[in-house]
């Protein structure tokens, strides 16, 4: 069904070329206003800079520029107050803002689009959104990193088993384990800072794709926005690398939070019993009264799939597009919005969920003993000049003997140790404890108390530079 072709009020901005208004079905698939309306604050920010530049360059009069800016600020007030309305016939956020601006300032609103296309305008809006989102995520990451350091500092002496292949491997300090996640998030922080830098370039001045004959000053507009100006107009309206950078950073962070979430699902199970979540960060079962489920951490795992999918979605959208704007680029926003929302939701819950959890040192220490100490025997032999492969085999035979006897390494007599290898007759038994094992580590970045203290100090110093 087509709209009344004589009703100019229902026509889109580009409607002069067409003899009738869009069919309703086409209008529904073509319109981006249902989701890109959240770009309104950024669209207005860009328009204020553009209007200011138009006035400074004499493209519109100073009085007209002032009216445009005042009107845009009033529309921004409405947006921030939740009073901004739109309809599907607005098509996109740019049209909705310009329509509402016209209702405030009259015909001069039509001059706002001088020297600008929706192509460079929509690109700018997404640049500004991604710059803002990367900054917000970076701040939330710093808070999550601060929580990791705080909990690590409070649990300096707690020992737990480290795992490889999900099998007990060697004892670690819990603080060392938590600081491993700190280092992971520190790399994520660098990725978001790089994504913010990539987004910090204004495409205004590119117009549709080849520039504009109007004497605009893109460098001035960029300066007003705190951005760098465009270099090539065709590239400026076409590229979405900055959005890919943000989506990649979100996807990698999602994977890291998923791994952390899996760990907490295990730790809070009865089989591990290493930790308990606070009631405020747990959920129950609709049928089993005893259940206390780590739903938030399970959602960390689940959202990683969406974040990876959003990155893939935009990559596939872009892969076949020639330079210049194509309507396919309308599909760049929803993956970005969804990923940003998901990441911010996870980072909002994580710090206090971690701080309020209760650790159980006894089962942790128990898991860090036993055969998890076997490497200490092998390393002792190697330090006494025994080739490591020979030492490895000797201790392996000793572990097998313990399994046959149903005892732990700590329970063996000195004669049994010496029977596995003569050098073990002088093995210091204090190394066959979780605390002795971690204290015996000497290498850079190790789990020894001294090393962990240095790592904590460095982490705290890093956070101090970020205001954490």
What pLDDT score was predicted for residue 314? Answer: 98
Residues with catalytic roles: 165, 285
Whether residues 380 and 340 share a domain: the answer is no
Task: Give the pLDDT score at 411.
Answer: 87
pLDDT at 19: 60
277 and 152, same structural domain?
yes
CA distances from 55 to 101, 208, 221, 409, 414 (A): 17, 21, 11, 82, 90
Residues 347 and 408 in one domain: no
Residues 299, 174 share a domain: yes
Domains held by the chain: number: 3
Residue 15 lies in a domain: no
Helix or strand run (H / E) with residue 201: strand 201-202
Considering the domain boundaries, does residue 439 fall inside one? no
For residues 149 and 98, state if they share a domain. no
**CATH number of 75's domain:** 1.10.275.10
**What is the spatial distance between Cα 220 and Cα 90, in angstroms, rounded to a whole number?**
30
Q: Give dist(CA 60, CA 114) in Å, integer.
A: 9
Same domain? For 194 and 84 the reply is no
- Assigned token pair, 130: 């991604």
344's tokens: 């911010």
Same domain, 122 and 107: no
Q: Which of 111, 143, 175 is the endpoint of a domain?
A: 111
- DSSP character string of 293-325: B-HHHHHHHHHHHHHHHHHHHHHHHHTTPPSS-
Last residue of a domain, one of 331, 361, 391: 361
> Is residue 178 a part of any domain in this protein?
yes
452 within some domain: no
Q: Can you give the pLDDT at residue 31?
A: 78
Domain membership flag for residue 6: no
Range of the domain at 131: 118-207+234-361
Beta-bridge partner residues of 293? 283
Whether residue 11 lies inside any domain: the answer is no
- 248 and 179 within one domain: yes
Q: Could you tell me if residue 468 is inside a domain?
A: no
Chain mean position to CA 124: 22
Q: Tell me: do 101 and 152 sit in the same domain.
A: no
Looking at the structure, do residues 162 and 73 belong to the same domain, yes or no? no
Same domain (yes/no): 185, 101: no
In a domain, 450, yes or no: no
Phi-psi region of 298 (alpha: psi -120 to 50; beta: other; left: phi over 0): alpha
From first to last of the 468 residues of the chain, give the pLDDT tens digit.
333 333 445 556 555 666 667 677 777 777 788 889 999 999 999 999 999 999 999 999 999 999 999 999 999 999 999 999 998 888 899 999 999 999 999 999 999 999 999 999 999 999 999 999 999 999 999 999 999 999 999 999 999 999 999 999 999 999 999 999 999 999 999 999 999 999 999 999 999 999 999 999 999 999 999 999 999 999 999 999 999 999 999 999 999 999 999 999 999 999 999 999 999 999 988 898 888 999 999 999 999 999 999 999 999 999 999 999 999 999 999 999 999 999 999 999 999 999 999 999 999 999 999 999 999 999 999 999 999 999 999 999 999 999 998 999 988 888 889 989 999 999 998 999 999 999 999 999 999 999 999 999 999 999 999 876
- Residues 175, 139: one domain? yes
Q: What CATH number did the domain enclosing 150 receive? A: 1.20.200.10
Distance CA(245)–CA(416), nearest Å, equals: 59
Residue where one domain finishes, among candidates 361, 387, 408: 361
Q: State how far the alpha carbon of 336 is from the alpha carbons of 9, 135, 257, 396, in Å.
A: 33, 14, 18, 52
CATH number, domain with residue 403: 1.10.40.30
């Amino acid at each position: 069904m087509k709209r009344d072709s004589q009703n100019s009020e229902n026509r889109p901005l580009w409607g002069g070329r067409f003899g009738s208004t869009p069919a309703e079905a086409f209008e529904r698939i073509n319109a981006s206003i249902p989701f890109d309306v959240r770009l309104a604050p950024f669209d207005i920010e860009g328009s204020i800079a553009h209007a200011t530049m138009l006035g400074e360059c004499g493209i519109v009069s100073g009085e007209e520029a002032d009216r445009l800016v005042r009107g845009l600020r009033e529309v921004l007030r409405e947006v921030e107050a939740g009073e901004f309305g739109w309809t599907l016939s607005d098509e996109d956020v740019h049209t909705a803002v310009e329509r509402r601006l016209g209702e405030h300032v009259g015909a001069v609103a039509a001059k706002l689009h001088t020297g600008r296309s929706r192509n460079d305008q929509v690109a700018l809006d997404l640049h500004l959104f991604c710059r803002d989102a990367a900054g917000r995520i970076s701040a939330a990451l710093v808070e999550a990193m601060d929580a990791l350091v705080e909990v690590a500092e409070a649990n300096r002496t707690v020992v737990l088993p480290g795992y490889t292949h999900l099998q007990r491997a060697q004892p670690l300090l819990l603080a060392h384990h938590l600081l491993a996640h700190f280092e992971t998030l520190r790399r994520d922080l660098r990725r978001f800072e790089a994504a913010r830098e990539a987004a910090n370039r204004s495409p205004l001045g590119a117009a549709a794709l080849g520039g504009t004959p109007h004497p605009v000053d893109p460098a001035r507009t960029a300066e007003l926005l705190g951005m760098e100006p465009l270099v090539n107009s065709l590239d400026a309206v076409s590229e979405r690398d900055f959005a890919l950078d943000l989506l990649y950073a979100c996807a990698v962070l999602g994977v890291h939070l998923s791994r952390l979430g899996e760990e907490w699902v295990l730790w809070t199970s009865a089989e591990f019993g290493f930790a308990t979540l606070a009631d405020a960060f747990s959920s129950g079962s609709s049928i089993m009264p005893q259940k206390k489920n780590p739903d938030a951490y399970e959602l960390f795992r689940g959202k990683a799939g969406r974040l990876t999918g959003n990155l893939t979605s935009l990559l596939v959208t872009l892969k076949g597009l020639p330079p210049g704007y194509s309507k396919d680029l309308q599909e760049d926003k929803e993956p970005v919005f969804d990923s940003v929302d998901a990441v911010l939701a996870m980072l909002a819950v994580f710090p206090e969920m971690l701080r309020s959890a209760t650790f159980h040192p006894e089962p942790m220490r128990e898991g860090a003993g036993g055969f998890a100490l076997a490497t200490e025997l092998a390393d002792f032999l190697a330090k006494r000049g025994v080739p490591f492969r020979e030492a490895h085999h000797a201790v392996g035979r000793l572990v097998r003997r313990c399994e046959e006897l149903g005892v732990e390494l700590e329970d063996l007599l000195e004669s049994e140790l010496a029977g596995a290898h003569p050098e073990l007759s002088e093995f210091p038994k204090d190394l066959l404890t979780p605390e002795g094992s971690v204290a015996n580590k000497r290498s850079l970045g190790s789990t020894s108390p001294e090393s962990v203290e240095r790592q904590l100090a460095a982490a705290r110093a890093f956070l101090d530079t970020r205001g954490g």
